[in-house]
């Protein structure tokens, strides 16, 4: 507008920044990858086997169902009133190892079974209002938002199939922070996890929210909710995540897969029969084992537990919370194997008067020795070991020595160190072409990114004769 007064010009951004076709974005990405595999480098496959693309656009929403909108703005703290008797306990599935699809599919089947029983004596619109779901919220931030949004979609669809109206189909959700990813170690990381979990629950559309103290004071649990409501204003917009291409696509993917599982359960006779047959427990056990393996191998990080430990924290007096209602499925926490390792080290220290010590012996290539020393510090720090660093072994009392250098320099280093020390020597890394030669030189073990930390740390506790 040439005649407009200074400062009042209308900016036509669509002309200044014309739309770029998806094909052009994809071409640019492939150029940047320089021949690397697109799927392996940029596509994230979740624990639910959902393939998450690196970006989404409006066209990705074509044909996708829209989430229920306008019924998820505010929530109230649930600390005071707790979990109602008879609620559908999807949180117990979560704590037993379920992924998001299993939580939704099985919970929906249980909810439909409950609704059918209630509808035998009550109008369906009244019966639906007697059903409340309890979901535990984990730390996979966007997946947890999508999980609750998908729950709203699926329950509305189920109630509509019974003839219920839109109001009756509005799901009642109590969300609580997960215990599965919490630990008695590094307790204030639990507070950080609980905060992001509460955000997911609020944005996902719960009606009641319980931030459960796990190693931190109850007043902090309530303060998290106050901050989210009174400072972050997460209760002022209904379905604030709605419209995000990524979250909408993720919601749709989770809902579709959960609906398939629900249909499988229904075809097999319903939720009660599925539980009685053992099929639910078997599915949860498989999911639980996969999660435990990922944490033991440190492919999934629990800060302060299997990586980045607080080396000054040796003991803990945290008592894990327990559910007043007994679960039909065995609950577990991902941190428990590492907690047992840490407790074993503490008992050793109480008996001997000292903690076992690892010497990080650093030589050679500056970059590699620093990276591998840091790896070793984190690895054995998770077991509660004391850590020392030096370029020389003479004069340093240690129970284990970890060589930290480059692959090319390890053999010479091992031939110098191993004959002159009386404690086991390990190598940080996996120099496959030199393993036999290094073992011949006296090296007794290797730690690297493919190591199972639980298995390896337990092995060295055994070899150091720590009482189980």
pLDDT in tens, 225-253: 999 999 999 988 888 888 899 999 999 99
pLDDT in tens, 105-125: 999 999 999 999 999 999 999
Rounded to 5°, angle at Cα 287 from 283 and 291: 165
Please report which confidence band the pLDDT of residue 71 belongs to, taking 50, 70 and 90 as the band edges.
low
| Residue 325 maps to a domain | no
pLDDT reported for residue 81: 75
Mean pLDDT of 58-87: 76
112 with 218, same domain: the answer is yes
Which residue range forms the structural domain that includes residue 207? 76-296
pLDDT reported for residue 238: 84
Question: Percent of the chain at pLDDT above 90?
Answer: 85
pLDDT reported for residue 116: 97
pLDDT reported for residue 27: 96
Q: What is the CATH number of the domain that holds 95?
A: 3.20.20.240
Least confident of 70-74, 139-143, 230-234: 70-74
102 with 218, same domain: the answer is yes
398 with 445, same domain: the answer is yes
For the cut 90, the answer to whether the pLDDT of residue 12 exceeds it is no
Mean pLDDT of 87-101: 97
Mean pLDDT of 428-440: 97
Going by C-alpha positions, the residue among 402, 172, 151, 379 that lies closest to residue 259 is: 151
For the cut 90, the answer to whether the pLDDT of residue 69 exceeds it is no
The whole model's pTM is what? Answer: 0.92
Going by C-alpha positions, the residue among 197, 68, 95 that lies closest to residue 143 is: 197
CA distance linking residue 276 with residue 255, whole number of Å: 25
Please report which confidence band the pLDDT of residue 322 belongs to, taking 50, 70 and 90 as the band edges.
confident
pLDDT in tens, 325-350: 889 999 999 999 999 999 999 999 99
Please report which confidence band the pLDDT of residue 366 belongs to, taking 50, 70 and 90 as the band edges.
very high
| Residue 329 maps to a domain | no
Q: What is the CATH number of the domain that holds 389?
A: 3.40.50.280
pLDDT reported for residue 8: 73
For the cut 80, the answer to whether the pLDDT of residue 428 exceeds it is yes
35 with 156, same domain: the answer is no
104 with 240, same domain: the answer is yes
Please report which confidence band the pLDDT of residue 427 belongs to, taking 50, 70 and 90 as the band edges.
very high
Handedness of CA 323, 329, 333, 339 (dihedral sign): positive
Domain boundary among 296, 313, 331: 296
43 with 90, same domain: the answer is no
Domain boundary among 274, 296, 318: 296
pLDDT reported for residue 236: 87
46 with 89, same domain: the answer is no
Q: Where are the beta strands (DSSP E) in 208-313?
A: 208-210
pLDDT reported for residue 4: 62
Place of tokens 């006296």: 442
284 with 138, same domain: the answer is yes
pLDDT in tens, 214-223: 999 999 999 9
127 with 230, same domain: the answer is yes
Question: Terminus-to-terminus CA distance in the chain, angstroms?
Answer: 80
Least confident of 8-12, 92-96, 209-213: 8-12
Mean pLDDT of 274-283: 97
pLDDT reported for residue 2: 56
pLDDT reported for residue 468: 81
pLDDT in tens, 160-173: 999 999 999 999 99
- Residue 70 CB neighbours (<10 A): 9
For the cut 80, the answer to whether the pLDDT of residue 80 exceeds it is no
| Residue 335 maps to a domain | no
For the cut 90, the answer to whether the pLDDT of residue 152 exceeds it is yes
Mean pLDDT of 64-93: 78
pLDDT in tens, 178-200: 999 999 999 999 999 999 999 99
pLDDT reported for residue 65: 57
Our count of domains for the chain comes to 3
Which pair of structure tokens corresponds to residue 136?
């535990």
241 with 95, same domain: the answer is yes
What's the maximum distance between 2 C-alpha atoms anywhere in the chain? Answer: 88
Please report which confidence band the pLDDT of residue 15 belongs to, taking 50, 70 and 90 as the band edges.
confident
pLDDT reported for residue 74: 78
Average pLDDT of the chain? 93
Mean pLDDT of 389-405: 94
211 with 355, same domain: the answer is no
> Is residue 154 within 8 Å of 190, Cβ to Cβ?
no
Going by C-alpha positions, the residue among 295, 385, 307 that lies closest to residue 342 is: 385
Contacts within 8 Å (CB) and 24+ apart, 321-326: 321/179, 321/212, 321/213, 321/214, 323/92, 324/82, 324/83, 325/83, 325/89
Question: Percent of the chain at pLDDT above 70?
Answer: 96
Mean pLDDT of 15-28: 89
Where is pLDDT greater, at 3 or 104? 104
pLDDT reported for residue 235: 86
């Amino acid at each position: 507008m040439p005649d407009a007064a200074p400062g009042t010009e209308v900016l036509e951004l669509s002309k200044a920044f014309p739309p770029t076709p998806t094909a052009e974005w994809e071409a640019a990405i492939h150029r940047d990858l320089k021949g690397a595999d697109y799927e392996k480098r940029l596509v994230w496959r979740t624990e639910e086997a959902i393939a998450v693309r690196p970006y989404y656009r409006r066209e990705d929403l074509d044909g996708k169902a829209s989430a229920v909108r306008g019924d998820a703005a505010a929530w109230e703290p649930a600390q005071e009133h707790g979990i109602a008797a008879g609620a559908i306990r999807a949180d117990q599935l979560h704590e037993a190892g379920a992924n998001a699809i299993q939580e939704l599919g099985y919970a929906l089947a249980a909810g439909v079974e409950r609704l059918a029983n209630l509808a035998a004596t009550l109008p369906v619109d009244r019966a639906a209002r007697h059903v409340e779901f309890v979901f535990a919220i984990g730390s996979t931030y966007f997946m947890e938002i999508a999980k609750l949004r998908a729950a709203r979609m699926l329950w509305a669809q189920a109630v509509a199939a019974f003839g219920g109206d839109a109001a009756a189909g509005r799901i009642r959700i109590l969300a609580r922070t997960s215990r599965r990813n919490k630990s008695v170690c590094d307790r204030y990381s639990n507070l950080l996890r609980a905060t992001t979990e509460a955000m997911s629950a609020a944005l996902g559309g719960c009606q009641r929210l319980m931030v459960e103290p796990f190693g931190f004071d109850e007043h902090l649990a309530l303060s998290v909710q106050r901050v989210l409501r009174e400072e972050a204003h997460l209760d002022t917009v209904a379905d604030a995540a709605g419209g995000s291409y990524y979250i909408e696509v993720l919601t749709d993917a989770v809902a579709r897969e959960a609906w398939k599982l629900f249909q499988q359960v229904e075809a097999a006779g319903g939720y009660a029969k599925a539980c009685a047959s053992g099929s639910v427990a078997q599915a949860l056990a498989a999911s639980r084992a996969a999660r435990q393996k990922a944490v033991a191998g440190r492919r999934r990080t629990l800060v302060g537990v299997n990586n980045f430990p607080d080396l000054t924290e040796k003991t803990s007096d945290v008592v894990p919370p327990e559910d007043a209602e007994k679960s039909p499925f065995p609950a577990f926490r991902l941190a428990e194997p590492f907690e047992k390792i840490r407790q074993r080290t503490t008992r050793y220290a109480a008996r001997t008067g000292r903690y076992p010590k690892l010497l990080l012996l650093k030589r050679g290539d500056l970059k590699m020795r620093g990276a591998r020393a840091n790896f070793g510090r984190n690895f054995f720090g998770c077991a509660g070991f004391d850590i020392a660093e030096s370029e020389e072994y003479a004069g340093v009392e240690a129970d284990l020595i970890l060589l930290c250098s480059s692959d090319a320099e390890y053999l010479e280093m091992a031939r110098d160190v191993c004959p002159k020390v009386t404690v086991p020597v390990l190598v940080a890394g996996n120099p496959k072409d030199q393993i036999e030669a290094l073992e011949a030189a006296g090296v007794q073990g290797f730690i690297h990114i493919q190591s199972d930390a639980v298995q390896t740390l337990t092995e060295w506790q055994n070899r150091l004769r720590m009482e189980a």
